[in-house]
A and B are shown apart, each in its own frame.
Chain A
């Protein structure tokens, strides 16, 4: 049995698997729909500050003013003006801090703003006035977003008030008042020019994830299913290498995963405005390497699981922690140190990191050499483990 024969067997087995897939209309539809759903979901449901709109907020003005003068009224006017243009909030009036709290508890509003009692007095007497932002702790994601959003607005208003104050000083006028109040300004610039959104972050991760899911669910399904219906015996009884069977099956799943990966890439570019900064061939090479690193693991699990159902359950149990720990959806850096430690052992981490570097930052091969090395190493070790395990399991 020469290498030529093994290669020919790999191709004929892959051909067979793909024919079965392409003749299965339902499976084919899912193949196309899955990336679309994932992309839409991931892109739209995760919050970002700019995307917040129409959040209902209770506004309580406890300020008693100073004579006829009320700084809080001016403050509220400005707030409403800003809000009219951003449409971030829907403001409801409330009488006090307690009422705001009740409203949040009842679920009437999602947060509140309270202008404290001596707001005007404090400003007049040269003290700091205070504004309280009340958040709904049961919804931490929203709370954080709300805090960030409102703080930015209040900062802007504080600056504006300060500007108005200093403009009365000698030598200060409308043109230089900002520089007096805020001597410098901070500007954020990405490493690569252009604007970025969450899709840019998501697309590489989703591609890595899809390829992994293809291999991890497709491979056990393909092998365990055939074992259950008995057709695997037809291959096992033929004079072919076991490696040929594994690689043939893997080849078919790789094609499937790559097709989905490419679909995500097209969707990301066409619908979600993602810009690819790196080499497209390097991206494909990385997807391929990702498949290689998952195959061994998939085969080992398939070998141990008695039937398709068990194999799928094991796969799901492994896959979900992997998805959340490997930085596909959330940056690894925001996890606690022990979780970051775990993520270092997951091949998916390296695939998504490398893909992100290439796609978003336009990195070249030398910049991702660590990831590539780890993936090759992981894949090689798992394959070496998988082959004897598979051989043993198949002749039980």
Chain B
């Protein structure tokens, strides 16, 4: 049985489709990733599945219950870690967990045990009676995750769980996510714009762009879309790199994209048997030196680039993207 089934799910804000006829299903016990840039519609999908927003069109079910008609049933099954941290600063760690636990009607004694157990799991026992307002961002996010675990949810929604965290805290949260998935058999839906995170955690990944799922498969299979037999990804280090140089590489027939990593380093995606030679020749013809060449394995970033034709990066890229698509689409979450 599928833990989640989504059929033509659509959410319009005015005339704007934030989520546009999305269909997918998530198996029980799976970690399913929704990967896409900010404003792609990930959060809106999570909000519809967790009964917080009503779909404009289409249906979705969680644990076999319809998210609109049987929202009460759905709420009993799910836990939500939203992008905004759901904790009260002026309450202590224990009081926060107690408050949310009581909303799920967990009896007092059991709840106390559960709180201790969860705090131990994320190494926050020492701060049990400290106000959450005094916590670091990493500590708050760990609290935020265990808060969603209080009712032993069958399905856990994680909306950008590592947003704004330092690398070490991100690693801790990811390990914790994997642990609860394995040990508690919790089905997890996770949204992220971090490729590595999706790659590391998710059994399957849905790539989402402009409210539509543009690809959906395991990470390995997705990468195969790029690393076909004749696909090459090169990282080249060239001193005196100029925009002209980049342009001339980009204009090569075999090259599908070029991105600049820093002032001397570029990454080139290309196709064809002779791509490697063609690129090196082009650089030589421009009388540039090549300090190093690396032949890279494809990443999810490359997959995204290949499928959508633009990068998952910052707003500057989004503007370029809008020009390319010849439509001005405001960002909606």
Contact = CB atoms under 8 A, between A and B. Distances in A.
A233 to B, nearest CB: 5
A230 B95 contact: no
Given A19-B95, A234-B147, A237-B75, A395 B82 contact: no
A237 B102 contact: no
A24 B102 CA distance: 23
B162 interface: no
Contact of A238 (B90, B95, B103): B103
Of listed B72, B91, B100, B104, residue having the most chain A CB within 10 A: B100
Interface residues of A, number: 24
B105 interface: yes
A230 B159 CA distance: 13
A20 interface: yes
A9 B104 CA distance: 9
Contact of B72 (A1, A9, A235): A1
Contacts of B151: 238
A8 interface: yes
B102 A12 contact: yes
A396 interface: yes
A30 interface: no
Contacts of A233: 52, 80, 82, 84, 86
A238 B86 contact: no
B78 to A, nearest CB: 7
B85 interface: yes
A20 B90 contact: yes
B102 A231 contact: no
Nearest to B99: A16
Nearest to A5: B105
B86 A240 contact: no
Interface string B67-81: 000001001101010
Contacts of A240: 103
A14 to B, nearest CB: 11
A237 B78 contact: yes
Nearest to A236: B52
A16 B103 CA distance: 11
Contact of B90 (A12, A19, A230): A19
Contact of B88 (A8, A16, A239, A396): A16
B87 interface: yes
A182 interface: no
B91 A229 contact: no
Of listed A8, A231, A239, A396, residue having the most chain B CB within 10 A: A239
A23 interface: yes
Interface string A224-266: 0000011101111111100000000000000000000000000
B53 interface: yes
Interface in A1-28: 1, 5, 8-9, 12, 15-16, 19-20, 23-24
Interface in A189-245: 229-231, 233-240
For the complex of A and B, 6 pairs with smallest distance between CB atoms: A230-B84, A234-B86, A239-B75, A238-B103, A23-B90, A12-B102
Given A237-B51, A238-B100, 8 more contacts: A5-B105, A8-B102, A9-B102, A20-B91, A234-B80, A239-B76, A240-B103, A395-B54
11 contacts: A12-B99, A16-B91, A19-B90, A20-B88, A23-B91, A230-B83, A230-B84, A234-B80, A236-B52, A239-B75, A395-B53
